[in-house]
Amino acid sequence: MSKVDEDPPLLPPKTCPAMAPPAAVGAGAVAPGKGVPTDASCTTGLPPAAAPSGCASTASNTPARPAVSDGWCTGVELDLIVVENILAFSEGFWVRLAARIDLCKSDDDKKDYEELAENIMNIVDRVVHKTDEKIEQSTDVLKAIISPVMQEGEEVMWPPRNPEALKLMEKEISNREKEGQLDESFLSEVNAQLRQVKGDGDKPGLQVMLQKVLQLYASNFLRKRSYAHKGGEVVVPEKFLESIIEAPESDWNKLLLDGLTVGKGVVSPEEFHAVTKKRIERILIRTEGGSYQQRVLVEYIKEIQARAEEIVNRLQGPAV
């Protein structure tokens, strides 16, 4: 990463695996619990929440946080500001901060900013280190889940040779979910691996296996909440949908043919479309917007919905 030409530099640059500051911005003993100064008179490129109250900020899209009564944000508040705006601390941020330190009108102001920069760099370092640890943990969890179908030195085959492999994967996912290990970091890792495999295009078996991991995750998560009973009565379309959610993907066609009125069942295509649409709405309400979890769960219901529409189209023409 490039460095800013300064004469002389305030400090040797501090490194960070993901977003190292490109220029030294100063040092000084950091007082315990000391966070953001609010009485300096410099112009800064800091987010408004981090900038001193007497200074102008060039970042207008960052939510501000109030300073504590003694004129300083607490260490906890600074941690939150940095974590919530972690992507803002790019190379350009550190260039602007280093340049603006030189514009400070007093040594006290300059020291305040040097301490602030040191604090921010330390927090960023911790976040990156914690993220790296989380990625490693998520990779280990994924390896454990797919181990029943992985043969050392062999290309991944799907369906697996061992007929029990899928059940073992499902059991591992259930166990890991109970331990709280199937979080956003895990889903992010699976999606990252899937994107890479799709891009390479030479490992179709691995691609299908990773997609199966996401299907098993969604099935395991969605089966925990039932909407099949209301007022002491069974809601037949909901019960039918939940039977498909819990079933292996290879059984969907048979279940749909047996349950829909276009086949042997009692649930009309219109009723099934309505309950799948309602289930997607419930997922959107109960999960964090834009999260991997939300995307995976919604995609799973849409896959069921699309399969049903395909069967209806084949047997009686266009679906609802």
pLDDT tens-place string over residues 179-209: 999 999 999 999 999 999 999 888 888 999 9
Quick check: pTM over 0.75? no
Report the pLDDT value the prediction gives residue 117, as an integer from 0 to 100. Answer: 87
Q: Which DSSP letter does residue 71 get?
A: S
> With contact defined as beta carbons under 8 Å apart, do 57 and 44 qualify?
yes
Burial class (CB in 10 A: 0-12, 13-18, 19+), 213: buried
Q: Is the pLDDT of residue 111 over 70?
A: yes
In this prediction, residue 152 carries a pLDDT of: 60
Q: Give the CA angle between residues 262, 263, 267 to the nearest 5°.
A: 65
Q: Is the pLDDT of residue 2 over 60?
A: no
Phi, psi of 263 (to 5 degrees): -115, -115
pLDDT 10s digits, 15-60:
333 333 333 333 333 333 334 443 333 333 444 444 444 444 444 4
DSSP 244: H
- pLDDT band at residue 74 under the 50/70/90 scheme: low
Q: Give the model's pLDDT for residue 75.
A: 65
Residue type, 102: D
Check residues 118 and 298 and name the one with the higher pLDDT.
298
The model's confidence at residue 70, banded by pLDDT at 50, 70 and 90, is very low
Query: In a 3-state reduction of DSSP, which class is residue 200?
Result: helix
Give the confidence band of 79 by pLDDT, cuts at 50, 70, 90: confident
Q: Of 131 and 261, which is predicted with more confidence?
A: 261
Across 4-8, 18-22, 297-301, the highest mean pLDDT is recorded for: 297-301
Contacts of 38 (CB under 8 A, 6+ apart): 52, 53, 54, 67, 71, 72, 73
pLDDT at 6 > cutoff 50:
no
When pLDDT is averaged across residues 98-104 and rounded to a whole number, the result is 87
Query: What is the C-alpha to C-alpha distance for residues 83 and 89, in angstroms, rounded to an integer?
Result: 10
Which is more confident, 10 or 89? 89
Reported as type and span, the H/E element at residue 290 is none
State the pLDDT at residue 104. Answer: 87
φ, ψ of residue 199 in degrees (nearest 5): -65, -40
Q: Which two tokens stand for residue 64?
A: 């501000």
Give the whole-number percent of the chain exceeding pLDDT 90: 47
pLDDT at 16: 35
**What integer pLDDT is reported at residue 73 of this predicted model?**
59
- Average pLDDT of the chain is 79
Q: Residue 250's closest CA among 305, 203, 307, 316?
A: 307
